[in-house]
Structure 1
Amino acid sequence: MKLLAIQAAGDLAGQHWQVRGTIKPLPSYADQNFLIRSSDGDFVLKLANAGWSHADLDLENQAMMLLARSEPGYAWPRVQTAVDGRHILSVDIDGERRQLRLLSYVPGRTYADAVAGLPRAQRSALQASLGRAVACMNRGLAALHHPAAQRAQEWNLLNLPALLDEVVHIGDAPLREMVGRHATAFCAALPSLAGRLPLCVLHNDANDLNVIVGEQAEVTAVIDFGDMCTGFRLAELAIACTYAMQHEEDPVECAQHILRGYLSQGELLPAERESLHAFIVARLCHSILMATRALRQQPDNPHILVSQDGVRALLRKLDSVPAGELLMAATEIPSE
């Protein structure tokens, strides 16, 4: 992939959006992102990887624009319209056609940074605010209909059966048995779940680095819409729980606070509540199997397993937790 120079990025932002200021690169997994600090505010210029289609990026932008209208209390990234009225531009980078967008920069700390060192009462309040934000995101995206939302997405829990062949490659025998048991059970239940649980368009990646926390230790936004897909509505809540729980000595209580926050803003069917434990465990298995596959493909890459310690530790804890414990506190946990 050809890289865009910092000066050239600044020139493009000025030419197409009339945004000028100091500019610096931001870390990104697959794209090129630049932070622009200007007198009119802070923005992120996003040069998409050549593998992203226009439809993929339009799905993300439509989701952010819908949330900005329907859930304005949150600081979702705001899509910026260029001077010609478009919100996705096709530009030539050294002979390669690439797609360019400008979004507002969302200030704050990631959930992973913000939760560290908080006293118990504030942690509980932060967890509840995470649940509220996820419920509002589910509610806002419920009205989104976009053909690209039907795309295959490897992190969609509906695709977990495609990873079952990786179970045999897990080196740790007890972990292999645990993942195999839970993943196989979830996959066997998928036809029944698909008939009973609602599906909708999902953000699908409310992890502890994509959830943004403001100065009052409350979730203010969720960023990075690159993993969007159509899947189980419950998956949005399960994913948020999966990452937040890894920061806690008592992960069950954490999930209970998140669930309580969710239910203060959104609804879950009884079958969804009963399935929450299974969905969290399935997401953990999904993560382990994805990492197992990646390690087989890149055996010399030491970074693949960096985030796996927390995932595996949480799965071991939840393996001995009765599923009903996650539901006990939606109404029973006293306010902090």
Structure 2
Amino acid sequence: MAAQHAKPNFSQPQVSEMVKRLFQLTASEVRPLPSYDDQNFYVAPREGGEYVLKIMNSEDSKNPTIIEVQTHAMSFLQQNGLPAQTAVPNISGQLMSLEESDCGCGCQKYLVRLLTYLPGVTISKVPLTPKLLYETGKMAARMDKILQKMEHPHLSILQRDKFIWSLSNVVLLEAYIGVLDGDPLQEVVKSVIDDYKTSVDTKRPRFRKCINHGDFNDLNVLVQPDDSDGYTISGILDFGDMNSGYYIHELAITIMYMMIEHPSPVKVGGPVLAGWESVLPLNEAEKDCLYLLVLSRFCQSLLLARYSVTLHPENAEYLMISSRRGVHILKQLWELGKEEVEKVWFQSAAQFSN
């Protein structure tokens, strides 16, 4: 593991000390929460309230401006009625501070924020009914529509031209394809990337631009029980992948991650699409590329998870969560083919809307 990409490794006593020093709060409970390459802690102070202390990895901590824009986006969504976390100012009135520590890779600086805690469980833990999938599609579209109105002096930092998780940059995956050497999946991934070059790249000028959350996945959406024995969305987490993209990208990402949790993955597309189109109907170019963009996101997720495991074998279990089912679903979608999958999605979306 390269030192410059050090995942933070703060202990619970260190977290209590930090919360006291920076926010004058006395932690009565501190417990770790799962994370990809940052460190998150649930903190319940004696003074009341519930929070998440988020400690960024050392690499992302070198870019405070992008974190500032993400933090601004969260509070902008919250002001516009969406359930996003907001950052709590520290005793000097700042929303972020840099903390220095040696987490096993020499002394590094880590960006620290205290965020409000949102109630609920991840959507991965509840049955994905058509109604909840519809609400998820609708929420994703509302979110991007609101973000489009956001103003900030550093918005241009979201361009992120070489950002590997952007669906504009699927071609960059070619550099990682070697991690699938000897795996029959490699051929599928290569074919998806080739189709993307011929079909998606040429239609991109007709996609509508926006700011993407970029990771509207099954672990970043929280739900709570509602009055009708179902669930309602109670939180949107993790703005670390925000980038300037296109509305259709957010929809593809949302469909892909909801598929991972569903017993009949192909059926997920219809209700998510119907919810999305209740806010933002797709144009023809966007419709035509949806299937390939969903497959492209599966390829990103699978390749980059495999690659990350080579860097962080100790975190393999967490990194491979989406991957295990994803392989199976990607093969299924590829074998069914574009026409068949689109028929399922667009017909069921139309029925839903009626």
Both structures adopt the same fold (TM-score exceeding 0.5): yes
Q: 1:98 to 1:290 in 2, by over 3 A?
A: closer
| Distance in 1, Cα, partners of 2:28 & 2:314 | 38
Deviations 1:160-185 (A, max 9, x none): 11112444653566533222212211
Deviations 1:133-164 (A, max 9, x none): 11111112112351321223221122211112
SS in 2 for 1:218: strand
Q: 2:222 matched to 1:222? A: no
2:119 paired residue number? 107
Q: 2:352 matched to 1:333? A: yes
Q: Report which stretch shifted further, 316-325 or 271-280.
A: 316-325
Q: Report which stretch shifted further, 293-302 or 273-282.
A: 293-302
2:39 paired residue number? 32
SS in 1 for 2:349: coil
Q: 1:77 to 1:305 in 2, by over 3 A?
A: closer
SS in 2 for 1:256: helix
1:311 paired residue number? 326
SS in 2 for 1:272: helix
Check whether the contact 1:274–1:327 (CA below 8 A) recurs between aligned residues. Answer: no
Check whether the contact 2:135–2:275 (CA below 8 A) recurs between aligned residues. Answer: yes
1:57 paired residue number? 67
| Distance in 2, Cα, partners of 1:223 & 1:214 | 14
2:96 paired residue number? 88
| Distance in 2, Cα, partners of 1:19 & 1:264 | 43
Q: 2:286 matched to 1:272? A: yes
Matching of residues 252-291 of structure 1 within 5 Å: 252-291=266-305
Deviations 1:89-108 (A, max 9, x none): 23344665432211001111
Tell me the CA shift for residue 129 of structure 1.
1.2
1:76 paired residue number? 84
Deviations 1:185-211 (A, max 9, x none): 102334323211122221111111111
Q: Report which stretch shifted further, 25-34 or 79-88.
A: 25-34
Check whether the contact 2:97–2:111 (CA below 8 A) recurs between aligned residues. Answer: yes
| Distance in 2, Cα, partners of 1:265 & 1:124 | 17
Instruction: State the one-letter code of the partner of 1:102.
Output: L
Instruction: State the one-letter code of the partner of 2:86.
Output: R
Tell me the CA shift for residue 279 of structure 1.
1.0
Q: Report which stretch shifted further, 186-195 or 295-304.
A: 295-304
Q: 1:250 to 1:33 in 2, by over 3 A?
A: closer
Instruction: State the one-letter code of the partner of 1:262.
Output: W
Compute the RMSD of aligned alpha carbons: 2.6
2:342 paired residue number? 324
1:140 paired residue number? 146
* Count of residues in Structure 1 that have an aligned counterpart in Structure 2: 327
Q: 1:7 aligns with which of 9, 13, 18?
A: 13
Tell me the CA shift for residue 79 of structure 1.
1.7
Check whether the contact 2:192–2:295 (CA below 8 A) recurs between aligned residues. Answer: yes
Unaligned runs of 5+ in 2: 1-5
Q: Report which stretch shifted further, 321-330 or 53-62.
A: 321-330
Q: Report which stretch shifted further, 86-95 or 57-66.
A: 86-95
Check whether the contact 2:212–2:242 (CA below 8 A) recurs between aligned residues. Answer: yes
TM-score by length of 2: 0.82
TM-score by length of 1: 0.87
| Distance in 2, Cα, partners of 1:159 & 1:194 | 12
Q: Report which stretch shifted further, 210-219 or 285-294.
A: 285-294
SS in 1 for 2:348: coil
| Distance in 1, Cα, partners of 2:88 & 2:66 | 17
Check whether the contact 1:91–1:99 (CA below 8 A) recurs between aligned residues. Answer: yes
Q: 1:7 to 1:280 in 2, by over 3 A?
A: same
Check whether the contact 1:23–1:34 (CA below 8 A) recurs between aligned residues. Answer: no
Matching of residues 172-187 of structure 1 within 5 Å: 174-187=184-197
SS in 1 for 2:124: helix
Instruction: State the one-letter code of the partner of 1:311.
Output: G
State, as a whole percentage, how many aligned pairs show the same letter. Answer: 26
Q: Report which stretch shifted further, 265-274 or 171-180.
A: 171-180
Q: 1:7 to 1:169 in 2, by over 3 A?
A: closer
Check whether the contact 1:164–1:184 (CA below 8 A) recurs between aligned residues. Answer: no
Q: 1:17 to 1:197 in 2, by over 3 A?
A: same
Deviations 1:39-71 (A, max 9, x none): 43101112222212211311220110111112x
Check whether the contact 2:301–2:322 (CA below 8 A) recurs between aligned residues. Answer: no
Q: 1:225 to 1:298 in 2, by over 3 A?
A: closer
Unaligned runs of 5+ in 1: none
